[in-house]
Amino acid sequence: MDIVRNTKIDWLGKKWIFIGLSLVLGVVSLTSIFTRGLNLGVDFSGGTLVYVKFQETPDLGRIRSLLGDASGLDAEAVTRFDEPSANEVQIRLPRVEDEETTDMGLKSAVVREALFQEYDSERAAGRSMDLNEVSEAEIRNWITANDPGGILEGLGVNESSQKAEEIAGEITDLRISNRGLIEDYSELEALGFSDGFISSLREDFYLGSFAILSVESVGPKVGSEMRERAQNAIFFSLLGMLIYIAFRFRPIYGLAAIAALFHDVFLTLGLFSLTGREISLTVVAALLTLVGYSINDSIVIFDRVRENLKLMRRADFATIVNTSINQTLNRTIMTSGMTFLAVLALYLLGGEALNSFSFALVIGIVVGTYSSIAIASPIVFWWQLLMEKRKRKA
């Protein structure tokens, strides 16, 4: 089945429309980057990100003031994360300037302490262990040491420790399936534990109303190191590709491809800036992938141009380029389409963690396909024109 057949679109003829469009988008991107700036993740700017899940809908304002200047934490942003029903909050603490003495590992402890004082100190009522926080190993040790509700009665040493491990595993599994929070002891009853066991548990463990899901804490030195690495990765990748293409085709093709790449990355970054999405290391990975993909697109066209140059000796360069694009159009639509589908699945279903990453790819595929036709090809054409003019002069 053919998606399109025998198209005879004059792509190069429309180049000014394309350039115009790209210029507009480019200017928008530039403005956004200069005004709104790029939301650099903690990977690059340093700082701390703590993800917390709450049992009840958290009052962001309350948390903000809690973690504000008063506690010495100076939380930069406290935002809702994921769907509202998930009650998850992202807390961002600013970059630390004092490199010499700061221990980034302490940040999460301070956040936790502040949240505990505010939300759970009453709940805890003297109990020192939070069932929503302790590790599986701790629960297991507790069971072995206390034999709650006589659950280990009559069992030998090996069997006891096995049973304790089993039970601890069940409890933590319950916790994990609830995304980190067991809300009520009744959930444990549903698992089939005896009343004696649960009341024993209740005596030593309280159920915290919040759970820290993850912590990312990056010091300024590490942050700037990451920035450097990301820049190096991008720079060398582009250089490597440029060299390879210049080698396989002719230098101008390499330049044209790279120009298209810059265009793609720039527009994608612009969109990130507009939407305020965070740029982390994984986003850089996505950008590089996008670069690889976009170059593929250009290569396919260039390949065909090279072939047609031999086959269509009579035709002028513009016709050759247009024909090449038209001939590869089916492939372009299919490949972009298929890759787009795959990446769309990722964007829609991949969850929060991959959101920025897949967003970059979704945009990137669209822009990458566009730039091979709209940017790379015209550049090659103009160069050819320039060369022919020079030849005529000589």
Partner 1 sequence: MNKKLKYRVLFIALVLLVGVAMLFLKDINLGLDLRGGVHLVLQVETEEALEEEVNQTRERIASALQDREIIFSDITIDQGVINIEGVTLAGEDATDDYLNQFTPAWNYRSRTREQLVTFSMEMTPAYRKTLATQSVNQARNIVAKRVDQYGVAEPTITVYGSGAVQDQIIVELPGVDDFERVKGLIKSTARLELKLVHPTNGGPYDSRESARSAFSGNFPEDYEILPYRDRNVEAGRTMYMVVKKAASITGQHLKNARRSQDPFSGQSEVLFYLNSEGVNLFSEATGANVGNRLAIALDDVITTAPNIESRIDSESARITGTFTVEEAEDIALTLRSGALPAQLRILEERSIGPSLGRDSVMRGIYASLTGIILVVLGMVIVYRLSGVNALICLTLNLLILLAVLAYFGATLTLPGIAGVILTIGMAVDANILIFERIKEELRLGKTPRASIDSGFSRVFGTIIDTNVTTLVASLFLFQFGTGPVKGFAVTLAVGLLANIFTAAFVSRTFFNLILNNREVKKLSI
Specify the residue, 217 or 377, whose C-beta has the smaller distance to partner 1: 217
| Binding to partner 1 in span 217-256, by CB under 8 A | 217-219, 221-222, 226, 229-230, 232-233, 236-237, 240-241, 244-245, 248
Contacting range for partner 1; rule: CB under 8 A; set: 11-19, 270-278, 291-299, 378-386:
291-299
Q: What is the closest distance, in whole angstroms, from the C-beta atom of residue 78 to partner 1 in the complex?
A: 18
Neighbours of 221 (CB within 10 A): 12
Token output for 104: 């980034």
**350 binds partner 1 per the rule CB under 8 A:** yes
| Binding to partner 1 in span 13-72, by CB under 8 A | 51
* Residue of 28, 60, 285, 312 interacting with partner 1 (CB under 8 A): 285
Whether 207 and 130 have beta carbons less than 8 Å apart is answered as: yes
Token output for 139: 């629960």
How large is the greatest C-alpha to C-alpha distance in the chain, in angstroms?
103
Whether 115 and 210 have beta carbons less than 8 Å apart is answered as: yes
List helix spans (H) across the chain: 15-35, 42-45, 60-66, 106-115, 121-124, 136-146, 157-177, 185-190, 195-204, 220-248, 251-275, 281-311, 317-327, 329-349, 355-371, 377-393
CA of 314: how far to CAs of 7, 327, 392, in Å? 20, 18, 18
Whether 84 and 100 have beta carbons less than 8 Å apart is answered as: no
| Binding to partner 1 in span 265-284, by CB under 8 A | 281-282, 284
* Residue of 90, 172, 200, 308 interacting with partner 1 (CB under 8 A): 172
**166 binds partner 1 per the rule CB under 8 A:** no
* Residue of 47, 148, 180, 368 interacting with partner 1 (CB under 8 A): 180
**375 binds partner 1 per the rule CB under 8 A:** no
* Residue of 322, 339, 372, 377 interacting with partner 1 (CB under 8 A): 339
* Residue of 299, 320, 367, 380 interacting with partner 1 (CB under 8 A): 299
Contacting range for partner 1; rule: CB under 8 A; set: 17-25, 28-36, 138-146, 380-388:
138-146
Residues facing residue 77 across a β-bridge: 92
Specify the residue, 15 or 287, whose C-beta has the smaller distance to partner 1: 287
